[in-house]
Amino acid sequence: MASRRRRPVLLPRPCRTAVPGAFGPGWFSILIWAPVLAIDPIVDSFDREPVWSAVATVLAVLAANTGAVLSVYREGRVAARRSQVLLAAQAALTFAATAHFGDHWFALFTLLALAVGAVAPPRWAPPLILAVTFGGAAVAWLKVGDWTQTWTTALTSFLAGFGTFVFQWLLTVIAELNATREELAHKAVDRERVRFSRDLHDLLGHTLSVIVVKAEVIRRVLPGDPETAAAHASDVEEIGRRALGEVREAVTGYREADVSRELDRARVALDAAGIELRVVQDGEVPRGVDVLFGWVVREATTNVIRHSGAHVCTITLAAGPSSATLTVADDGYGGEPSPGGEGIRGLRERAEALGGELAASGTRRGFTLRVEAPTTEVAE
């Protein structure tokens, strides 16, 4: 199954999702402000007749507030719809209670604004907070006709609602940044794993092929020419030591090939396999392209030795003002490249990373590998 891609966050938007481990504004309103803001209405309830009606109203408001905030911290559409229904119930109870009981109950508008800031969808939260602010001010003015009480109700509702909304927005931004950081860390690990796998394949594939060829030469010449066999054995030892160093460099990420060094190694390896190497070079290439071409020469030489059965291998390097091209052709068996080959895939990834392209084709007269990469972008 294809992995999901996260939508890039250009401008963080607040959302009503819980932030793991965070003491969010919704919980803050439940644990701190809900009991505090309900004190005045509860005390006033005991002066009302009947007492149970006023107390039941306060408890219903608190229950709706608690349910709305708790529901929004659960995932899914059902939980979100439940929180919105409970928020609407809290709003209806708040307006009805304050319009009926009077000034001691205006603190419920502040509690309602807190719940709106924590529960309402981001698109609707600001206008709903303003509606609570102006609605509370209107009820206060119509009920008591006092500007001080009216401004107090409006100001506390406005600050509580937007303060909660902004706090929730900041927590959401932090959660998004943490998630993005974790995703980038995972991608960095994946890139490093791919790099190491590709480098290890290119390094050991070539080195082991040369060792196998040298071992075959030693086996053939040992009975009649011990001195030549000893020389080839010395080469195997040197190649093995060099391979150890290259593997260490690959592990640390400092391993890089260059085309001139790889051409020298290709000449030695092909000569040991009885294959003639012809090199045609026109111009110099920038460092980045030079490294790419070095990897291509190494992998192509390995394939020629292992699979082609060729007698001649021709490497052509041409560098122009805007691009450079490397072509490796042999006169072996040919055939189309394997679609699942790790070597060709790794070279294609290296070429595409520089904005270049790779083409591989085979005929009855041999196999050709061609890589072209821009030189201007690399030089810049």
- What's the confidence (pLDDT) of residue 208? 74
Same-domain pairing of 63 and 178: yes
DSSP states of 142-187: HHH--HHHHHHHHHHHHHHHHHHHHHHHHHHHHHHHHHHHHHHHHH
d(CA 28, CA 33): 7
**3-class DSSP string for 21-78:** CCCCHHHHHHHHHHHHHHHHHHHHHCCCCCHHHHHHHHHHHHHHHHHHHHHHCCCCHH
- What's the confidence (pLDDT) of residue 255? 54
Same-domain pairing of 174 and 277: no
Query: Domain of 371: which CATH number?
Result: 3.30.565.10
- The structure tokens listed for 345 are 């895939």
d(CA 133, CA 150): 10
Count of domains for the chain: 2
Q: Is there a domain that residue 16 lies in?
A: no
Single residue among 153, 184, 215 that ends a domain in this structure: 184
Q: Is there a domain that residue 49 lies in?
A: yes
371 sits in which H/E element: strand 366-374
Task: Tell which wins on pLDDT, 6 or 89.
Answer: 89
Single residue among 184, 210, 227 that ends a domain in this structure: 184
Distance of CA 172 to the CA centre of its chain: 18
Q: Is there a domain that residue 225 lies in?
A: no
Same-domain pairing of 158 and 263: no
Q: Is there a domain that residue 62 lies in?
A: yes
d(CA 12, CA 122): 11
DSSP state of 88: H
Classify 12 as helix, strand or coil: coil
Over residues 329-346, the pLDDT tens digits come to 998 876 766 655 677 787
Same-domain pairing of 88 and 177: yes
Please measure the distance between the N-terminal and C-terminal CA atoms of the chain and give it in whole angstroms.
40
Question: Which residues lie across from 370 on neighbouring strands?
Answer: 327, 359
Same-domain pairing of 114 and 260: no
- What's the confidence (pLDDT) of residue 327? 92
Same-domain pairing of 169 and 266: no
Single residue among 151, 184, 217 that ends a domain in this structure: 184
Q: What are phi and psi of 277, to 5 degrees?
A: -110, 130
What's the whole-number average pLDDT of the chain?
78
- The structure tokens listed for 204 are 């050991």
Contact 98, 109 (CB under 8 A): yes
What's the pLDDT band for 1 if we cut at 50, 70, 90?
Answer: very low
Same-domain pairing of 293 and 164: no
Return the biggest CA–CA distance within the chain: 120
Q: Is there a domain that residue 214 lies in?
A: no
- What's the confidence (pLDDT) of residue 10? 38
- pTM for the full model? 0.51
Same-domain pairing of 47 and 147: yes
Spatial CA neighbour of 149 closest among 110, 184, 181, 97: 110
Spatial CA neighbour of 7 closest among 176, 188, 182: 176
Half-sphere CA count of 36, side-chain side, radius 13 A: 9
What's the pLDDT band for 30 if we cut at 50, 70, 90?
Answer: low
Same-domain pairing of 65 and 148: yes
Same-domain pairing of 271 and 365: yes
For range 120-147, the mean pLDDT = 89
Q: Is there a domain that residue 200 lies in?
A: no
Q: Is there a domain that residue 264 lies in?
A: yes
Same-domain pairing of 151 and 299: no
Spatial CA neighbour of 62 closest among 37, 96, 85: 37
Q: Which of 107-116, 140-149, 370-379 shows the lowest per-residue confidence on average (mean pLDDT)?
A: 370-379
- What's the confidence (pLDDT) of residue 371? 92
Contact 324, 293 (CB under 8 A): yes
Q: Is there a domain that residue 236 lies in?
A: no
For residue 360, what are the domain limits? Answer: 256-380
Report the percentage of the chain scoring pLDDT > 70: 78
- What's the confidence (pLDDT) of residue 204? 67
- What's the confidence (pLDDT) of residue 380? 47
- The structure tokens listed for 246 are 């290259």
What's the pLDDT band for 379 if we cut at 50, 70, 90?
Answer: very low
Same-domain pairing of 172 and 263: no
Treating both helix axes as pointing N-terminal to C-terminal, what angle do 147-221 and 287-303 enclose, rounded to 10 degrees?
Answer: 50
Interstrand relation of 276-282 and 312-319 (parallel, antiparallel or unpaired): parallel
Over residues 225-284, the pLDDT tens digits come to 888 888 878 878 777 777 776 676 666 655 566 788 888 888 888 887 888 999 998 888
Query: Which residues, including other chains, have CB under 8 Å from residue 377's CB and lie 6 or more apart?
Result: 354, 355
